[in-house]
């Protein structure tokens, strides 16, 4: 295992294999993870390595954070507590769009422009579809090869194990670890499916929705909820024959956005066109993202957004912990199958089953 700060193909492969092994174990229900490296490395060593921006250690720290194994959770909590004072410095940007909209290519174009300008960029993929279907839309390791080989960039594929709550936790914690590792920009990529957009929008400073060019029918597919979450809409693939269609689509999105109240009085979400393939429009787009940061920092809105996100984080963690405690409570566990079957057959009402379960839980 290479422990230098430079990008090593071996290190990358090791991390990928390690993550795959963890996923395989979790998928089969064998929760014991035979990861001698993760188990052997002390938390303070992980902390030092992350702060020293050592890529191999960063990979291990993230694997620990992604693990759901009870022993690992305790160490992950210690790791995060130590890293938290060093986090918070990155520009957090969420990017969403349906599969095929060109997220991968766009992020490569944006990421390489940013690293060429001297910024350090991390990309994190969030793909809750994988928790439902077992297959991953974003997990493909061959995506973003150019960026993955850039010494100033770090691409972390989506962990595909766990529940939506688990994905939420992992995403937040991964973001903090990446920030502690000194990345200036963290791009959080997600698919425009299910709750993933809301999940990511609630963790970032800026939320970008990529759209396909095309008018009429396709536009009818825009979800009102997405317009409310987006800080910018960019019609992607606005190159060649698509340019005109993209401009027409942009005009329609502009109209649709006018009907939605902006989240901040200091920012009206713009609609732009761009092309990840040619890089066209990407620089202009980023200058607007930075403008947003400036305006919202000055007005105090950015800090308020982060304050709300921290409080929401506390509550979602509390929800998760309570649910976990309930599910793993021995007396509750004994009652559950019988009560569930009684509810199923109508012999007990859901209300009375819940009352019994909560009472049992609170008795100990
Ligand atoms: P993702 O699923 O959203 O990550 O989309 P990809 O980045 O994998 O791109 C999906 C397809 O669209 C690929 O075949 C790309 O070659 C193509 N594509 C991506 N960006 C552009 C673009 O800016 N212009 C054109 N014409 N094609 C693009």
What is the predicted pLDDT for the residue at 170? 86
Distance CA 17, CA 8 (A): 14
Which helix (H) or strand (E) segment holds residue 183: the answer is none
Distance, CA of 201 to CA of 315 (rounded, Å): 17
Look at ligand 1, atom 19, and give the residue with the nearest C-alpha. Answer: 102
Number of H helices and E strands in the chain, helices first, is 17, 7
Q: Which residue's alpha carbon is at the smallest distance from atom 10 of ligand 1?
A: 100
Task: Provide the strand spans (E) within 247-345.
Answer: 271-273
For tokens 């920009």, name the residue: 185
From ligand 1's centre to the CA of 218, what distance in Å?
Answer: 17
Question: Which range is least confidently modeled, 207-211, 225-229, 291-295, 342-346?
Answer: 225-229
CA of 238 to the centre of ligand 1 (A): 11
Nearest CA, atom 9, ligand 1: 102
Tell me, in angstroms, the distance from the centre of ligand 1 to residue 240's CA: 14
* Higher-scoring residue by pLDDT: 190, 116: 116
Which residue's CA lies nearest to atom 14 of ligand 1? Answer: 100
Our mutation pick for probing the ligand 1 site, out of 97, 98, 99, 105, counting the most ligand atoms within 8 A of Cβ, is 105
Task: For 12-63, write each residue's pLDDT tens digit.
Answer: 444 444 445 444 444 443 333 344 445 567 899 999 999 999 999 999 999 9
By alpha-carbon position, which residue is closest to atom 26 of ligand 1? 237
Between CA 253 and CA 235 the distance in angstroms is: 9
Task: Tell me, in angstroms, the distance from the centre of ligand 1 to residue 106's CA.
Answer: 8
The answer to whether the CB of 96 falls within 8 A of the CB of 204 is no
Q: For all residues of the chain together, what is the average pLDDT?
A: 83
Residue 246 and residue 58: Cα distance in Å, rounded?
39
Percent of the chain with pLDDT over 90: 54
pLDDT tens, position by position, 80-97: 999 999 999 999 999 998
Q: What's the gap in Å between 214 CA and the centre of ligand 1?
A: 15
For a ligand 1 pocket test, name from 102, 135, 143, 281 the mutation site with the most ligand atoms within 8 angstroms of its C-beta: 102
Residue nearest ligand 1's atom 5 by CA: 102
42 CA distance to ligand 1 centroid (A)? 42
Span 296-301, average pLDDT: 93
- Determine the 3-state secondary structure of 211 from DSSP: strand
Protein residues whose CB sits closer than 6 Å to any atom of ligand 1: 97, 99-105, 236-237, 239, 275-277
User: Tens digit of pLDDT for each residue in 345-356?
Assistant: 999 999 999 999
Rounded distance from Cα 271 to ligand 1 centre (Å)? 19
- The Cα–Cα gap between 219 and 261 comes to 19
**pLDDT per residue over 68-84, tens digit each?**
787 788 899 999 999 99
Site to substitute for ligand 1 among 95, 100, 103, 238, most atoms within 8 A of C-beta: 100
């Amino acid at each position: 295992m290479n422990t230098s700060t430079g990008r090593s193909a071996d290190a990358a492969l090791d991390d990928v294999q390690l993550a795959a092994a963890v996923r395989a174990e979790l998928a089969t229900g064998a929760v014991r993870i035979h990861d001698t490296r993760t188990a052997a490395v002390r938390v303070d060593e992980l902390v030092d390595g992350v702060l020293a921006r050592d890529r191999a250690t960063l990979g291990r720290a993230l694997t620990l954070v992604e693990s759901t194994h009870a022993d690992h959770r305790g160490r992950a909590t210690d790791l995060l507590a130590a890293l938290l004072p060093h986090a918070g410095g990155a520009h957090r940007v969420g990017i969403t769009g349906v599969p095929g909209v060109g997220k991968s290519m766009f992020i490569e174009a944006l990421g390489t422009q940013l690293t060429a300008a001297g910024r350090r960029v991390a990309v994190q993929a969030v793909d809750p579809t994988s928790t439902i279907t077992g297959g991953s839309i974003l997990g493909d390791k061959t995506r973003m090869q150019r960026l993955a080989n850039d010494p100033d960039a770090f691409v972390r594929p989506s962990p595909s194990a766990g529940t939506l709550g688990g994905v939420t936790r992992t995403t937040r914690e991964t973001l903090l670890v990446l920030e502690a590792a000194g990345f200036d920009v963290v791009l959080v990529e997600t698919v425009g499916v299910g709750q993933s957009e809301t999940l990511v929008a609630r963790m970032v400073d800026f939320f970008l929705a990529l759209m396909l060019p095309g008018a009429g029918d396709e536009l009818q597919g825009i979800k009102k909820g997405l317009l409310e979450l987006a800080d910018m809409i960019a019609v992607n693939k606005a190159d060649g024959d698509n340019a005109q269609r993209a401009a027409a689509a942009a005009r329609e999105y502009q109209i649709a956005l006018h009907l939605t109240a902006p989240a901040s009085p200091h920012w009206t979400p713009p609609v732009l066109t761009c092309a990840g393939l040619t890089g066209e429009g990407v620089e202009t787009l980023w200058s607007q993202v930075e403008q947003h940061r400036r305006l919202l920092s000055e007005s105090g809105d950015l800090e308020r957004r982060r304050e709300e996100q921290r409080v929401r984080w506390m509550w979602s963690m509390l929800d998760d912990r309570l649910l976990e405690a309930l599910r793993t409570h021995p007396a509750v566990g004994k009652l559950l199958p019988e009560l569930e079957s009684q509810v199923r057959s109508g012999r007990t009402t859901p209300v009375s089953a819940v009352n019994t379960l909560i009472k049992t839980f609170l008795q100990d």
